[in-house]
Amino acid sequence: MNGNLKHMSPWGIGLKIGFVTLLYGLPATYLTFRFPGSLAISGIPFTAHAVAGLALGLVGATIYARSLCLLHDALRKGLLVTRGPYAVVRHPIYASWMFILLPAIALLLRSWLLLAAPALAYATFKVLAPQEDGTLESVFGRAYGAYARRVPELFPSFRRLRMPNRQVE
């Protein structure tokens, strides 16, 4: 196992992104319920919101859980994970949180204000991502550099989805 790996947090920058999102999300949720006439999504039946929110939530939770399992296994073995969701984007945990789970929550709560949470989470990610990428580069060296050049950060490149999934040591 790489000695630098011991100093790497399995949470990465995720707790910071979550904290900033929570600082926005709690008041946004309160305001939505306090002023539902002006801040709640209306004009669409709740059933449609619920079905869309639950479907997104299921997809997002599946990607999130699979990514966490792969990351946990790779960290335990001292490997850079590049298969599964990590073959599609470098940061699938953050991507699933920002672009699938947060919108699912906004739909389930029918909140216009919460629909802005992914943009805030994304901005926070962009500020903090160089720190995490630098840590990964220092731990995995050239392997991470090659992986970073090949796999997009958060948004899948459909041209690259045909690449085989493989583990880089």
Render pLDDT for 107-126 as a digit per residue (tens, 0 to 9).
999 999 999 999 999 999 99
Identify the CATH number of the domain in which residue 49 sits. 1.20.120.1630
pLDDT 10s digit of each residue in the chain, 169 long? 454 555 556 678 999 999 999 999 999 999 999 998 888 888 889 899 899 999 999 999 999 999 999 999 998 898 999 999 999 999 999 999 999 999 999 999 999 999 999 999 999 999 999 999 999 999 999 999 999 999 999 999 876 555 555 554 4
The answer to whether 136 touches 37, Cβ cutoff 8 Å, is no
Buried-state track 114-123, b at ≥16 Cβ within 10 A, e below 16: beebbebbbe
pLDDT value of residue 6: 54
Q: Which residues, listed in sequence order, are joined to residue 40 by a DSSP beta bridge?
A: 111
Beta bridge partners of 111: 40
> Which pLDDT belongs to residue 166?
54
Domain of 55? 3-162
Residue 167, in any domain of the structure: no
> What is the per-residue pLDDT for 37?
87
End-to-end CA distance of the chain: 10
Decide if 168 is inside a domain: no
Q: 169 in a domain, yes or no?
A: no
Total structural domains within the chain: 1
pTM (2 decimals)? 0.85
